[in-house]
Amino acid sequence: MSEELNRRTFLAAAATTVAVLSLPVLENAAVAAEVAPATAGGVDVGPLASFKKDGVIDTWAGKGKGEFMVIRQDGKIYASSSVCTHKGCVITKAAEDFYCKCHRSHFSLQGTPTAGPAQRTGSLPRYAISTDANGHVRVDKSKQFSEKQWDDPASFIKVDSAA
């Protein structure tokens, strides 16, 4: 009888511990959803009119913020992962490229690795990107494109190349 009671007490304590330890994870998920609200059509990153000049917008690059960047370059707007292909660290915008401070990998603005250990692990994936009925740009991370698929029309938005 006391053995069963101890087992019950142990299981109750274990369940309570798991529940308490899960709270920070659930809280972080709620904050991430607040930072980058996703809908069935992906994350709304703003009106197309706000992408008038070539450059990188890294508002969603950090962990819990979406882990992607929006780049306008050479008449296209595309969304690239901001997670290094080597060990999963978040990359940041450097002067003329992207940089992973964890192991010093570099990526071109297109997402191809140019230095460091990421040269062995490949290019940054891109995500589906489109405009909605309101003229807003949406990034859909549920659809990924490898470097061989970057010509797929769903992986970029064609824009006037005059910056």
Say whether pLDDT at 30 is over 50. Answer: no
**In whole angstroms, what is the distance from residue 147 CA to residue 139 CA?**
17
- The pLDDT value given to residue 140: 96
What token pair was written down for 52? 């008038």
Q: What is the mean pLDDT of residues 33-60?
A: 78
Q: What is the residue type of 8?
A: R
Q: How confident is the model over 87-118, as pLDDT tens digits? A: 888 998 888 889 898 888 999 999 999 998 88
What is the percent of the chain with per-residue pLDDT over 90, rounded to a whole number? 49
Q: Which H or E run includes 6?
A: helix 2-35
DSSP 37: -
Say whether pLDDT at 161 is over 80. Answer: no
Q: What is the mean pLDDT of residues 49-63?
A: 90
- Mean pLDDT taken over the chain: 82
Q: How confident is the model at residue 34 (pLDDT cuts 50, 70, 90)?
A: very low
Q: How confident is the model at residue 4 (pLDDT cuts 50, 70, 90)?
A: low
